[in-house]
Amino acid sequence: MKILFDINIILDVFDNKRSEQYPSSKKVYDYCINNKLDCYLCVASLDNLEFLKISQLDMQFPELTYAQKKRLSDLLIQDLLKFFKLAKTPSYYPIDLNDIEDSQIIGSAHAIGAIVLTRDKDILEKYSYIAVHPDNFFDFIENKKNNKIPFLDLQSINMQYCHQFEEAFDAVLQSGWYILGQECKKFEEEFADYCGTKHCIGVANGLDALILILKAYKEMGIISDGDEIIAPANTYIASILAITHNNLKPVLVEPDLNTYLIDPDKIEEKITSKTKAIMVVHLYGQTCQMDKIWEIAKKYNLKIIEDSAQSHGAYFGQKRCGNLGDASGFSFYPGKNLGALGDGGAVTTNDDELANILRALRNYGSHKKYENIYKGFNSRLDELQAALLRVKLKYLDKEIEKRREIAKFYLENIKNEKIVLPKVRKEDNHVWHLFVIRTKERDRLQKYLEKNGIQTLIHYPIPPHKQKAYKEWNTKAYPVTEQIHYEVLSLPISGVMGMDEVKEVVEIINRY
């Protein structure tokens, strides 16, 4: 919960007489500090805070010089800013000329989704839906408490960075260059560096990343129409669409029931003279068993294409995904561990020629304006999304750490014989994009959790070969894949989930 403090509360807290007169102001202030709640001051109030503090000192200590009073006021503001964040009033918010400061405070609270803590009668009356008196604060938050645990609270995830996003937005706006500019270039450098690869090419989304990799190999003469690409039968549809959109044939391989990842021991039997690549999907945040897959690819001279849409930052041995094959596609769909505020994607690779072709393919097949070497696409990573992703990339490892902490707690504490917990390979460095459990009573468990306020999702309810889009495969049997799709359930997990919520999920599941 975010709380924007009106300065009358601040003045109550830092003046003995006033804190005696209005004890609830101090009580709420202490509660917020002790519980590390998200507290804000409106930028527009700072000037007034200084003025009122100096006036207060003037009345209480008339012997002080102006410089001394100013110094004391400066110290107070300096101290407050160690704990309080500043909220600016957005320029689009209408200013009420009858009380300019009040409307600026309300505008700031709106922009960040905060409540306003105030004793100002006008604000409390006029903006009762958003403003609360300290006397009523504890009742107010009790009523506001939402006992539901969302699957993924994207708003809270992104609001953590709202100030840096503002700065990033202003930089893009002022640059005057909105497609393939400096932000995209810098993000590509930073993400390549993060993955440990030579190149990163920003594209419009994860599906395009995979489509363009295959298209680039076709331009290089390595893959041709009708060739076969090995892919897991258990994956999100995008992995398969990328193959069929290129007039190539997906050859589906069953997953390992323990890890849900492509079973490396079942790949070799599917290789024919038409096989040109293996697409590995590091599903749910865990990398595939790459040592075995590297061996097979080497033996049959196959390219390895990674679908890393769910696994930013995951390791296999010393290397991160994105750097475990010949080329890798990433998605920055908002719900991913590294998610934009819209669509976004990227390809990483160490192959200079492939990178060069991809840079052209995403941009109408052109390196130079109006000269088209390939029949390309318009699939560029948006400049604004790149700027926002640069902010979030700095915190990706922190996000992953928090997810690991939650996953560890789930793994150690969920104890219910009806439920199969995810298996993690010993040497693994899982990033827990999803925490996926399995049970024969999946739909019943999901309803039970919903009734108890816990939102869950299914990744995924229908396997690719059973989709209407691929009706030619509907009669094929992939029993392990089908079992997974009928039994899996994803529990809430994210960097903003409180451990109290995690414990609640465990308790409720254990009672099932």
Instruction: Return d(Cα 40, Cα 109) in angstroms, integer.
Output: 9
User: Which of residues 108 and 349 has its CB atom nearest to ligand PLP in the complex?
Assistant: 349
Q: How far is the CB of 208 from ligand PLP (least distance, A)?
A: 7
Q: How far is the CB of 329 from ligand PLP (least distance, A)?
A: 7
Instruction: Pull the structure tokens for residue 511.
Output: 């009672």
Stretch that binds ligand PLP, among 202-210, 292-300, 358-366, 404-412 (CB under 6 A): 202-210
Instruction: Pull the structure tokens for residue 227.
Output: 């060739």
Q: Between 237 and 276, how does the x/- string for binding to ligand PLP read (CB under 6 A)?
A: -xx-------------------------------------
Whose CA is closest to 4, among 129, 109, 120, 159?
109
Q: How far is the CB of 282 from ligand PLP (least distance, A)?
A: 8
Instruction: Return d(Cα 70, Cα 76) in angstroms, integer.
Output: 10
Q: Residue 36 is inside which H or E element, if any?
A: none
Q: Looking at the chain, how many residues does it have?
A: 512
Burial grade of 303 (CB within 10 A; 0-12, 13-18, 19 or more): buried
Q: How many CB atoms lie within 10 A of CB 252?
A: 21
Q: How far is the CB of 310 from ligand PLP (least distance, A)?
A: 5
Instruction: Return d(Cα 240, Cα 361) in angstroms, integer.
Output: 20
Instruction: Return d(Cα 395, Cα 47) in angstroms, integer.
Output: 33
Stretch that binds ligand PLP, among 232-240, 251-259, 266-274, 285-293 (CB under 6 A): 232-240
**Taking a C-beta distance cutoff of 8 angstroms, is the pair 405, 309 a contact?**
no
Site for ligand PLP in 298-357 (CB under 6 A): 307, 309-310, 331, 333, 343, 345
Residue 382 in contact with ligand PLP, rule: CB under 6 A: no
Stretch that binds ligand PLP, among 28-36, 230-238, 355-363, 490-498 (CB under 6 A): 230-238
Instruction: Pull the structure tokens for residue 384.
Output: 């604004």
Site for ligand PLP in 275-294 (CB under 6 A): 281
Whose CA is closest to 189, among 200, 178, 181, 180?
200
Q: How far is the CB of 330 from ligand PLP (least distance, A)?
A: 8
Residue 207 in contact with ligand PLP, rule: CB under 6 A: yes
Residue 206 in contact with ligand PLP, rule: CB under 6 A: yes
Instruction: Pull the structure tokens for residue 135.
Output: 């006397």
Residue 481 in contact with ligand PLP, rule: CB under 6 A: no
Q: How far is the CB of 17 from ligand PLP (least distance, A)?
A: 59
Binding residues for ligand PLP (CB under 6 A) = 205-207, 235-236, 238-239, 281, 307, 309-310, 331, 333, 343, 345
